[in-house]
Amino acid sequence: MERKILFTASTYSHLANFHRPYLRAFAGLGWTVDAACGGPPRELPEARRVIQLPFEKSITAPANFQAARLLRQEMKREGYGLISTHTSLAAFFTRLAARGLDTVVVNTSHGYLFDENTPAAKRALLLGAEKLTSKRTDLLLTMNRCDYEMARRYRLGQKIIDIPGVGVDFSRLDCAPADAGTLLRARWDLPEDAFVLIYPAEFSARKNQAMLLRALALLPRRIYLLLPGEGALLERCKALAEELGVWDRVRFPGHVSDMGPWYLAADCAVSASRSEGLPFNVMEAMHCGLPVAASAVKGHEDLIREGENGLLFPWNDAETCAAQISALADHPALLSRLGARAAESVEQYRLDAVLPKVIAAYETVSPALAADRNRNLASIS
């Protein structure tokens, strides 16, 4: 009997950036792999077919309910044995579409967009959506302590397992030439004695680049900030940099596909995010030996131990953020020690270490997958 799995996400880019190894893994076990996404198309060569969905960001948008109807039609026609859903919006409508169907649904939470500090109305909406679909969540995978505890408290899945993220392919960073950082600094007109910060992220309210710009205005002129990325708030942040008088110390390179040279060009990584799942940008920086000064929020606190492999500051606190950055910039020995510890501590999140653990979690709700992997292991031995 043909085994089929459907991966869903709000955007193609999410599956392309984080889940192609999992599409390959299922295909390697003999499963037929399909994907369904919204947003601009991206290559997903591991998928047999990709279904375009009309997702819109607002959860109440009529197009999202149309996407759910399209998904349900595909689920009925294809008879998927497994559905793997990602990103909050797609996960909600995927589980709505799967109601009453004979399929196993695995929802991976990449970081709930609500917590105890979220405004009451927004929290009620987002938590309510998770509660509504909890009975159609055969397996819920969380990737930080806060989300795991919240999921258990509100019973947001029939079975809940905490995983160490989805794994990071660090090898793509390791191939950068040794002089790539020096060359990049010269190309982007960074002084030789500059202390360079880096924060690659989408420009959004949650990622909070504006706070870093305010912190930069409190720091000495030798400190520069690299902000790779695109997003809705990019132009607003450029205007804020001008307003704060730090424009000449910030670089806005836009979308960057090869981050290796950028990490090599930096002395320290920063993150001002309001909340995270288990952030790739922080783990990549740590792997490259950069200490990280980050907001003390979920996701960050799972990776960074204050004073051991990085530094933390209260969310949206520009003054304390600037003080933590100063501590690193002014104390080379601290910078070196935290960077070395960061590189050591992040090794457990390598893709080749994490992927088998995630597949094993899927097997707890899919005997068919467990049987296929056992057959595959037996044939290899």
pLDDT tens sequence across 73-87: 999 999 999 999 999
Interior/surface letters 141-168, b for 16+ CB within 10 angstroms, e for the rest: bbbbebbbebbeeeebbeebbbbbbbbb
Please indicate, yes or no, whether residues 58 and 104 belong to a single structural domain of this protein.
yes
- Residue 379 pLDDT: 54
E strands in the chain: 4-9, 32-37, 49-52, 82-86, 104-108, 139-142, 160-162, 195-198, 223-226, 250-251, 268-271, 292-295, 310-313
- In the chain, the percentage of residues whose pLDDT exceeds 90 is 91
**137 closest CA partner among 170, 169, 161, 167:** 161
Which residue range(s) make up the domain with 237?
A: 171-348
Please indicate, yes or no, whether residues 325 and 214 belong to a single structural domain of this protein.
yes
For residues 240 and 375, which has the higher predicted lDDT (pLDDT)? 240
The pTM is what?
A: 0.93
Distance CA 33, CA 30 (A): 9
The string of pLDDT tens digits covering residues 274-294 is 999 999 999 999 999 999 999
Token couple for 314: 């209260």
Q: What is the mean pLDDT of residues 144-172?
A: 97
381 pLDDT more than 50:
no
1 pLDDT more than 80:
no
Angle of CA points 227, 228, 233, to nearest 5°:
70
The string of pLDDT tens digits covering residues 177-236 is 999 999 999 999 999 999 999 999 999 999 999 999 999 999 999 999 999 999 999 999
CB count in 10 Å sphere of residue 381 = 5
Please indicate, yes or no, whether residues 323 and 215 belong to a single structural domain of this protein.
yes
71 pLDDT more than 60:
yes
- Residue 378 pLDDT: 53
Total domains in the chain come to 2
For residues 117 and 235, which has the higher predicted lDDT (pLDDT)? 235
Please indicate, yes or no, whether residues 318 and 299 belong to a single structural domain of this protein.
yes
Q: What is the mean pLDDT of residues 60-81?
A: 96
Please indicate, yes or no, whether residues 344 and 365 belong to a single structural domain of this protein.
no
141 pLDDT more than 60:
yes
Q: What is the mean pLDDT of residues 332-354?
A: 97
Output the average pLDDT for the chain: 95
The answer to whether residues 284 and 259 touch, using CB atoms and an 8 Å cutoff, is yes
Measured CA distances, 347 to 91, 201, 209 (Å)? 29, 22, 27
- Tell me the CATH number at 362: 3.40.50.2000
- Residue 380 pLDDT: 46
Please indicate, yes or no, whether residues 49 and 20 belong to a single structural domain of this protein.
yes
Please indicate, yes or no, whether residues 41 and 147 belong to a single structural domain of this protein.
yes
Please indicate, yes or no, whether residues 86 and 192 belong to a single structural domain of this protein.
no
At 2, is the pLDDT very low, low, confident or very high (cuts 50, 70, 90)? confident
- In the chain, the percentage of residues whose pLDDT exceeds 70 is 99
The answer to whether residues 91 and 12 touch, using CB atoms and an 8 Å cutoff, is no
Please indicate, yes or no, whether residues 201 and 267 belong to a single structural domain of this protein.
yes
Please indicate, yes or no, whether residues 300 and 283 belong to a single structural domain of this protein.
yes
**93 closest CA partner among 121, 41, 51:** 51
Please indicate, yes or no, whether residues 41 and 94 belong to a single structural domain of this protein.
yes
Please indicate, yes or no, whether residues 310 and 375 belong to a single structural domain of this protein.
no
The string of pLDDT tens digits covering residues 299-323 is 999 999 999 999 999 999 999 999 9
- Residue 372 pLDDT: 83
242 pLDDT more than 50:
yes
